[in-house]
Amino acid sequence: MSLVYFKNVSKSYNGNIILDNVTFEVERGEFVCLVGRSGVGKTTLLRILYHEEPPTKGRVFFEDKDIFKLKPKEVIKLRRKMGMIFQDFKLLNSKTAYENVAFALEMTGYPEETVKKEAKELLRLVNLSDRLDNFPHQLSAGEKQRVALARALIHRPEIILADEPTGNLDPINGWEIIKLLLKINELGTAVILATHDKEVVNTLNKRVISIENGKIIRDEKEGKYLI
C-alpha cells in the first residue's frame, strides 16, 4: 500500500492545462523532490494533495482512500496526517512562535500539559527554544520557517509537504531547513519537497520527479535536476 497515489490526475483553469495526466506513487518514509520551473504545476499538485482544490480529472489516494470522496470531517483528519510548510510560512501573525505550534495541538483537545511539553520539545528540535514568546514579525525568515516546520510536525504526520520552503531564505538558512527535513525523513516521515533549487536537489541525491508543461517527464530513484 503506497502512502500517496496520483492516478491520471489533470487540472486546468479556464482551459489552461496545469497538470496533464499525472500518475505517480509515494511510499511511506520516502523522500521525493518535485522539480521544475516556477509555474509548472508543483504547487497545484501539492494543493490537490492536501485537498485545497479538486483535480479536473483523475483520482488521488492517501493511504488507499480517495481523498475527494471524504466527508469534511475526514478531510480535517487527513490534513492532520500531513504536515505542510510553504514559501511564505503561513504563520498566524497574532500568535507567538510557541502559540503557533501549540495551537495545532490544542485544536485536537489535548490536555494543557501535553500541549506545552510537545510544543516546547518541537521548538527545541528546530533550535528555537529561546524564541518561544516572539511574534512572527519579530523572527527572521529562517526562524519563521523553522516555526512552520515545528507546527507541521506536531501531529506526527505521515508526510511533510514542503512547497518551496527555501524560496525566501538565504542559502545558510535554506540548508538548515533541508537538513531538518532530512532528519525528519530519517525518523520515518515521508517528504515531498517541491523546489526549483538545483543545488539542493543535486546534493540530496534522492528520488526526483521532474515536471514540465504539466507532465511528468522524468522520475528517477537517485535523480538530478536536469531541466
Question: Which residues sit at the interface with other proteins, rule CB under 8 A?
Answer: 50-52, 72-73, 75-77, 79-80, 84, 90-95, 103-104, 106-109, 111-112, 151, 155
All residues at 6 or more sequence positions from 128 whose CB lies less than 8 Å from its CB, including other chains: 97, 143, 146, 147, 150
**Min dist. Cβ of residue 77 to other proteins (A):** 7
Based on the number of CB atoms within 10 Å of its own CB, is 175 exposed (0-12), middle (13-18) or buried (19 or more)? middle
Nearer to other proteins, 38 or 94 (CB): 94
Other residues' Cβ atoms within 10 Å of the Cβ of residue 112: 9
Half-sphere exposure at residue 172, Cβ-oriented, CA atoms within 13 angstroms: 2
Nearer to other proteins, 26 or 104 (CB): 104
Nearer to other proteins, 133 or 199 (CB): 133
Nearer to other proteins, 80 or 218 (CB): 80
Nearer to other proteins, 92 or 141 (CB): 92
**Min dist. Cβ of residue 28 to other proteins (A):** 20
**Min dist. Cβ of residue 95 to other proteins (A):** 8
**Min dist. Cβ of residue 227 to other proteins (A):** 29
Distance in angstroms (rounded) separating the CA atoms of residues 130 and 110:
24
Contacts 24+ apart (CB under 8 A), 138-143: 139/97, 140/173, 141/89, 141/168, 141/169, 141/170, 141/173, 142/169, 142/170, 142/172, 142/173, 142/174, 142/176, 142/177, 143/97
**Min dist. Cβ of residue 61 to other proteins (A):** 18
